[in-house]
Structure 1
Amino acid sequence: MSLTLEEILALPGLEEMRLRAGSQNMHRTVRWSYVAENESIGEWVMGGELVFVTGINHPRDEVNLLQLVDDGHTSGIAGLVILTGSAFIQRIPDSVIARAHAYGLPLIEQPYLLKMVIVTHLIGTALVHMAQTKRSRHDIVAQLLSGDYPSLATARQRASHLQLPLDDSRRLVALRLSAVNVLFDRHPPDEAERRLQHIRQAVQDHLDAWNRALPDALPVIVQGDLFIVLLPEHEGIRLQLAELYQQLHAMIGELALFMGMAGAVQGCAGYRQALNQARQALEVAENLRPATGLCDFNELGVLRLLQAIGDRSVIDAFVQQTLGQLIEPRRKHSHSLIDTLDALLQENGNALKTAERLNLHRNTVTQRIQRIEQHSGQSLDDPLFRMNASVALLVWRMNEAQRQERP
């Protein structure tokens, strides 16, 4: 649990503070508060601060306030608070609000009559309390993941006090940055280490914000080089993780990222086993390198066999040989036969259920089955072909790069 800007504005005693811009980023966490006394703030902040501008010790005209917004955006501050009243800064110029809005920088107006000593005391106290709560929440989940806890009863009692929903059905996902050697091959050691730590922090910050928006969220745990999240179990979890992967992929630069997902765990007593499952799936993902970055432990039976094949081109050739003839580039939906074969195998060859799954007419599915057999030269009654097709489709589903070719 972290203290966000939204939570700060909800603190008792701060009701008079008013958000003027940047509402889309009110989820940002505040590292500490800082009162700006100099003309600019660029060299005085490190990122994550809530910066207060009073105008008492330095005149703040429109040009200077615009500069502070620019500095704050560049420095990565959490938000900017401008004190207004009759004495110093009478009002926040519209141009300042517009620029903060364009940056997505949370801009908050505070009346001078609301004393700074009260505001900073309330925020500082809340930050200390939140930090203690966050440490306790992380401690409980980390102990359950490692198996090093006094008793489940004690863990559950602590979790209840801290409002941690431990025993819901969840899927554990372990994420790891890969290709770290590339950084050290391309850059001097000091620069490579700096970039690595910057990327790791960016990934953790993004995961924290992403995870915090989920229902019944548990804290993200960092264990060695692993980032561990425990997600509520639901049907759209793979799509959710695919979107997360795309977001993280945009910020990791020269590195790669892979994810391993455990089978469903029904209670906190299974967290340790779930972490072991996720590690196994992650190992397979790093070897097979699916374009989605994700490997599911529930699919490890066949994937572990494929992982033993040292030459990835052998796997690609098998997929091409099995499914390649089913691609119809001249048709509008060139992969419709592959989708139909996939659905048909998942429905154990039942054409009626396949039609329902694909929202198609039964006759359309029958016609596609005929084309599948014509193009492949195989019969769907042949158990060997069905087995080969199932394995090839498993690899196909992992290879999102091929699926992106779809209209």
Structure 2
Amino acid sequence: MSLTVEEILALAGLEEMTVRAGASNLHRSVRWPYVAENEGIGEWVMGGELVFVTGINHPRDEANLLRLVREGDASGIAGLVILTGEPFIRRIPEAVVELAEQYGLPLIEQPYLLKMVIVTHLIGTALVQMAQAKRSRHDILAQLLSGDYPSLATARQRAAHLKLPLDGPRRLVALRLSAVNVLFDNHAADHAERLLQDVRQAVQDFLEAWSRALPEALPVVVQGDLFILLLADHENIRAALANLYRDLQSIIANMALFMGLASKVDACEDYPKALNQARQALDVAENLRPTTGLCDFNELGVLRLLQAIGDRSVIDLFVKQTLGRMIESRRKQPNSLIETLDALLQENGNALKAAQRLSIHRNTLNQRIQRIEQLSGQSLDDPLFRMNASVALLVWRMTEAQRQDRA
């Protein structure tokens, strides 16, 4: 549990501390305060620190302060606080401010007369209190999400005490990082693990800041590899999540991120159902990889039926029986007939539009249609065959996407 830089600056007694750069990243979490005594900080921090620079034990000229900004950014510190005034660091050079702004590193100026013992005491006390409160909030939400709580009345009492707004309609969103294998394919295991944890923390920090700005905000819950948001229901939620997905792209590096959105629930006792729905939608999003990264449970349609089939072999057999003969493994393009069938169904049987979609001549399309009907023993005029083929193609596209990911 931690405080953000913004929450620390809002503490009573720290009003004299001023943000000089990196205001867009004040949502970063602060694990603990660290007073820098050495020439550099790269070897002495692990990420998440709010680093204080006094200039007492080491000269801090412009070159040294620039070095601290670079090393702080590379190490993932939460922010850099520079004490200014006589007799050590008189002012923060403009070049240091500009570099911190370029990196997006929160740079804070603290008057030297504001004693460090007061600052560290206030931050330390707040960290302990905030950690306890956040732990309690997350404990309540985790119990409600799992359905494992002593009594609903007690959970509601605790939520009211901790100012958790549980009442009112909610939409649950489950988010998960995908393509993690990219990190481990391109880096040594220890380095890849550190990169993964850094990205996960950056995503969590961003989500917490994003959700705090929304009405009736609830904390982000981390459950295994899931980030869980409980958002107040509103008509623009899809657009808001699309913007969130776009903003997260700059954080997740070469990995991918997908989201599953549950149906609206009106009471906290329905959170487990909402989480299950969001998980189902998330699984589909990871398989189909929509451009917005989002799949809404309300729009799953037939996929909701397929998700309910516990034995995957039943689905695989259905796909094989419906499409298997059309896969011509000895040809240069073994899936051309399946892709043609898919195009025809996507265009509601309009052969001209299907040919345009596939960028082939109409005569070529007609030849493929004859081949499809010959191999399947079915007619494209048969509505039952079209329905079965549509479902089978939906599963085939999901499977093909997974195969390409593993290739």
Provide the rounded CA distance (Å) in 2 between the counterparts of 1:18 and 1:253. Answer: 31
The 3-state SS of whatever aligns with 1:109 is strand
CA contact (8 A) 2:172 2:274 kept: yes
In structure 2, the partner of 1:5 is: 5
Query: Residue 327 of structure 2 corresponds to which residue in structure 1?
Result: none
Following the alignment from structure 1 to structure 2, what is the Cα–Cα distance between the partners of residues 251 and 323?
42
Asked if 1:322 is matched to 2:348, the reply is yes
Alignment partners' CA distance in 1, 2:22 and 2:257: 30
Shift of 1:257: 2.7
Deviation (angstroms), 1:290: 2.3
What amino acid maps onto 2:209 in structure 1? A
Instruction: Quote the offset at 1:98 in angstroms.
Output: 2.4
* 1:52 counterpart = 2:78: no
1:301-333 deviation line (CA, Å, top 9, x unaligned)? 233468855879568425542398679x9xxxx
How far apart in 2 are the matches of 1:21 and 1:251?
A: 20
The Cα shift of 1:186 comes to 6.1
Label 1:54 to 1:178 Cα distance change in 2 as closer, same or farther (>3 A). Answer: closer
Q: Give 2:101's aligned residue.
A: 101
The residue type paired with residue 256 of structure 1 is A
Which residue of 2 is the match for residue 297 of structure 1?
297
> Aligned with 1:51: secondary structure?
strand
**TM-score, normalising length: structure 2:** 0.73
Distance 1:209 1:326, change over 3 A: farther
* In structure 1, C-alpha distance between the alignment counterparts of 2:2 and 2:191, rounded to whole Å: 30
Give the secondary structure class of the aligned counterpart of 1:231. strand
CA deviation map 1:116-149 (0-9, x unaligned):
1011000111011111111111000000000011
Which residue matches 2:82? Answer: 82
2-structure distance, mates of 1:49, 1:280: 37
Which residue type is aligned with residue 217 of structure 2?
A: A
CA RMSD for the aligned pairs? 3.2
Shift of 1:207: 2.2
> Contact 2:29 / 2:205 at 8 angstroms: preserved in 1?
no
Give the total of aligned pairs. Answer: 337
- The structural deviation recorded for 1:8 is 1.5
Indicate how the Cα distance of structure 1 residues 92 and 43 shifts in structure 2: closer, same or farther if over 3 A, else same: same
User: Does 151-160 or 196-205 show the bigger shift?
Assistant: 196-205
SS state at 1:125 partner: helix
CA distance in 2, matches of 1:7, 1:196: 26
SS at match of 2:3: coil
CA distance 1:56–1:323, change in 2 (3 Å): farther
Please state whether the residue corresponding to 1:97 is helix, strand or coil. helix
In structure 1, what is the Cα distance between the partners aligned to 2:93 and 2:169?
A: 50
Distance 1:318 1:197 in 2: 45
Match of 2:401 in 1: none
Instruction: Give the secondary-structure state (helix, strand or coil) at the position aligned to 1:322.
Output: coil
Taking structure 1 as reference, are residues 282 and 24 closer, same or farther at Cα in structure 2, changes over 3 Å only? closer
- In 1, the alpha carbon distance for the partners of 2:280 and 2:85 equals 60
Q: Which residue of 2 aligns with 1:267?
A: 267
Q: Counterpart of 2:212 in structure 1: which amino acid?
A: R
Residue equivalent to 2:216: 216
C-alpha separation in 2, matches of 1:74 and 1:275: 36
Shift of 1:181: 5.0
Q: 1:202 to 1:104 in 2, by over 3 A?
A: closer
Q: Which residue of 1 is the match for residue 405 of structure 2?
A: none
Alpha carbons 2:183, 2:192 under 8 Å: kept: yes
Match of 2:69 in 1: 69
CA distance in 2 between counterparts of 1:272 and 1:198 reads 29
Tell me what 2:376 maps to.
Answer: none
Sequence identity (%): 72
- Alpha-carbon offset, residue 48 of structure 1: 1.6
State how far apart, in whole Å, the 1-side matches of 2:217 and 2:204 are: 15
| Paired position in structure 2 for 1:137 | 137
SS state at 2:157 partner: helix
Q: Does the residue aligned with 1:40 lie in a helix, a strand or coil?
A: coil
In structure 1, how many angstroms separate the alpha carbons of the residues matched to 2:302 and 2:71?
53
Gap change, CA 1:197 and 1:132, over 3 Å in 2? same
Contact preservation (8 Å) 1:284, 1:304? no
Closer/same/farther in 2, CA of residues 40 and 196 from structure 1, 3 Å limit: closer
**Compared with structure 1, are the counterparts of its residues 232 and 316 closer, same or farther at alpha carbon in structure 2 (3 Å cutoff)?**
farther
- In structure 2, what residue type is equivalent to 1:81? V
What's the CA shift for 1:266? 0.9
Contact between 1:216 and 1:232, CA under 8 Å: does it hold in 2?
yes
CA distance in 2, matches of 1:188, 1:70: 24
Greater CA deviation, 187-196 or 306-315?
306-315
Deviations 1:263-285 (A, max 9, x none): 00112111111111112222322
**Alpha-carbon distance in structure 2 between the residues aligned to 1:199 and 1:94:** 30
Is residue 154 of structure 2 the alignment partner of residue 128 of structure 1? no
Query: In 2, are the aligned partners of 1:32 and 1:50 still within 8 Å (CA)?
Result: yes
**Deviation by residue 1:174-231 (Cα, 9 ceiling, x = unmatched):** 1223344555566665555444444433333332232232222211112222221111
Alpha-carbon distance, 1:250 to partner: 4.2
Distance in 2, Cα, partners of 1:181 & 1:64: 38
On the 8 A contact 2:27/2:205 being kept in 1, the answer is no
Unaligned stretches of 5+ residues in structure 1: 330-383, 396-407
Matched-pair contact (CA < 8 Å) for 1:260–1:278: yes
- State whether residues 28 and 205 of structure 2, in contact with CA within 8 Å, keep that contact through their aligned partners in structure 1: no
SS, match of residue 173 in structure 2: strand
Q: Structure 1 CA distance, aligned partners of 2:344 and 2:228?
A: 34
- 1:144-183 equivalences in 2 (<5 Å): 144-180=144-180
Query: Aligned partners of 2:124, 2:270: CA distance in 1, in Å?
Result: 37
Partner secondary structure for residue 246 of structure 1: helix
Partner of 1:359: none
TM-score, normalised by the number of residues in structure 1: 0.73
Does structure 2 conserve the Cα–Cα contact (< 8 Å) formed by 1:82 and 1:92?
yes
Structure 1 range deviating more: 65-74 or 148-157: 65-74
> Quick one: distance in 2 between partners of 1:112 and 1:293?
48
Structure 1 pair 221–11 and aligned structure 2 pair: CA distance change class (3 A)? same
Q: Distance in 1 between matches of 2:166 and 2:177?
A: 27
